[in-house]
Amino acid sequence: MAPVLDNIDLYTSGFSTSLRIALSAAVGSLLLGAVLAAFRVSPVPVLQRLGAVYVGVFRNSPLAIVLYFFAFALPAVGLGASFFVLGVAGLSMYTAAFVCEALRSGVNAVATGQAEAGRAIGLGFRQNLTLVVLPQALRSVVPPVGNVLIAMAKNSAVVGALGVGGDLFSAYNRMTSALGYAQLPSLVGMAVGFLVITLSAAGLLALLERKLEIVR
């Protein structure tokens, strides 16, 4: 581990960038996933089909292909941006499909009588969903959504492999290529960085789950 400790600044910088990728993609996927879940449970057939097609396409596509499309195909047609932006966008849109299904399962788990009671007092679909159904559904979807986000944090390593500068993958690459260090200690340093991200996320989600259980 001496090579890692001797280049701790390189790994610290890489950890910061990888954390930014994970947090940005988490926010993007949660927002888009919530919109898609609303589409899937909407009474409007066009929105239902739109949500179903989106989920079907992204859930059944390999992440590497999605990221390569964003990183290389979009710039080829004039929709270029930094690798960071394109990578986060691709990871967010991919993960949003899984977030959508986790949220939809929670919505479907809420008793139908709850939505009927909301309609009985004059609430529209949007009000019923946001004020009655979602607050109850969110308690049951913390574990599945949390698992999706933890998997997304690990998948952020693939974003780094596309060429996002300064992340943990880049730190590993520089250690082995430019600085000539051995593969194993350099790889362990990168793995430890991702473990810190994923274990921290798991701890926060476990705390949130316990707090929601107390409220029940």
> Residue 206 falls within a domain, yes or no?
no
Helix axes 134-161, 8-40, angle to 10 degrees: 140
> Residue 3 falls within a domain, yes or no?
no
> Residue 202 falls within a domain, yes or no?
no
Q: Decide if pLDDT at 72 tops 80.
A: yes
What is the end-to-end Cα distance of the chain in Å, rounded?
47
> Residue 198 falls within a domain, yes or no?
no
Chain-wide mean pLDDT for the chain? 81
> Residue 1 falls within a domain, yes or no?
no
- Sign of the four-CA dihedral 59, 62, 67, 69: negative
Query: Of 10-19, 59-68, 173-182, which one has max mean pLDDT?
Result: 59-68
Helix axes 83-109, 8-40, angle to 10 degrees: 40
Report which of 98, 31, 32, 75 is spatially closest to residue 163, judged by C-alpha positions. Answer: 75
Which domain, by its residues, includes 135?
Answer: 18-167
Both structure tokens of 42: 């909407």
> Residue 172 falls within a domain, yes or no?
no
pLDDT tens digit sequence for 105-132: 887 777 667 666 777 777 776 677 777 7
Identify the CATH number of the domain in which residue 154 sits: 1.10.3720.10
Q: What is the domain count for the chain? A: 1
> Residue 185 falls within a domain, yes or no?
no
* More confident call, 133 vs 41: 41
> Residue 116 falls within a domain, yes or no?
yes
Report which of 162, 163, 149 is spatially closest to residue 198, judged by C-alpha positions. Answer: 149
Task: Yes or no: say if 57 and 121 are a contact pair by the CB < 8 Å rule.
Answer: no
Q: Decide if pLDDT at 216 tops 50.
A: no
